[in-house]
Amino acid sequence: MANFGVQIFPTDQTIQPIDVALAVEERGLDSLFFPEHTHIPTARTTPFPGGGALPEHYWRSHDPFVSLAAAAAVTKRIRIGTGICLVIERDPITLAKECASLDYISEGRLVLGIGAGWNREEMENHGADYKNRWKIVREKILAIREIWTRDEAEFHGDFVDFDPLWSWPKPKQAGGPPIWMGANSKWVFDRVAEYCDGWMPIGGAGKNGMENLKAACDARGRDVSTVTLALFGAPTDEDQLKRRIDQGFTELIFGLPQADRDTVLSVLDKHAKLAERCRGI
């Protein structure tokens, strides 16, 4: 059975995190995701992957973990997640603590959607090495899992290195919150197979995506059925949505507009009705 959720940049110019979280839960949807950008450098040369000018909400978004904590505090059922967290810009020990705390406080409802990001200048403001960004993300995630699962965690890599440490609370979910990779590149399949619990591409799996994921899992001795398939930017056309479900996606995440409260709630109503029609497929 498929689950349905939504994502929106929470900013100072749109519906606020508490309001949208309450609305998502009231309408029977299953999840709420918030993206992340700490800032956008004014002298930016990296082109926007979406084409054209970079939308203003990219530099007006609230911190996702603050927003998700607010959402968790007023809900009981929905899953809350990052879509995505820019791991490359965060200290792994601090990020492990934030996620463990939020998962514990929310009674095990956190999903950690991750990626390396696209904005070179933003990363470099954080002291991140753009060239090695995916190697760094990998080590940070492996280190975070050690902190989540071991009483005395340590990690020694090329980019992340720390001696044994204590860090509590541990996450409520056994093994920690599920980690979903939000990326579409040709390298994503092996990365998911090695250190993630799910794959969250934008729009679809692309040509041979499902076959490539299975091959990557097979190469690492992993059953592909253990990988959650989440679709970011799920289509709002009912036939297309059903085809994505038939492909194997079990988490369908619709986009919400960057708009005022009434407009967002109107769109959310439409998403909820579409989800209801497609449940049970």
What is the per-residue pLDDT for 280?
72
Segment 122-146 shows an average pLDDT of: 97
Mean pLDDT of the chain: 97
CATH architecture of the region 3-278? Alpha-Beta Barrel (3.20)
Segment 232-253 shows an average pLDDT of: 97
pTM above 0.95, yes or no: yes
Note the pLDDT tens digit of each residue in 80-103: 999 999 999 999 999 999 999 999
Backbone torsion region of residue 211, taken as left when φ is above 0, otherwise alpha when ψ lies between -120 and 50, otherwise beta: alpha
Per DSSP bridges, beta strands 3-7 and 110-115 are: unpaired
HSE at residue 159, side-chain half, CA atoms within 13 A, is 21
What is the per-residue pLDDT for 210?
96
Confidence of residue 238 (pLDDT cuts 50, 70, 90): very high
For 200-229, give one letter per residue: b (16+ CB within 10 A) or e. Answer: bbbebbeeebbebbbebbeeeeeebeebbb
Closest residue by Cα to residue 255 from 34, 11, 1: 34
What percentage of residues in the chain have a pLDDT greater than 90?
96
44 pLDDT more than 90: no
What is the per-residue pLDDT for 169?
98
CB-count exposure of residue 47 (10 Å: 0-12, 13-18, 19+): exposed
What percentage of residues in the chain have a pLDDT greater than 70?
100
What is the per-residue pLDDT for 1?
85
Segment 104-122 shows an average pLDDT of: 97
What is the per-residue pLDDT for 281?
64
Note the pLDDT tens digit of each residue in 266-278: 999 999 999 999 9
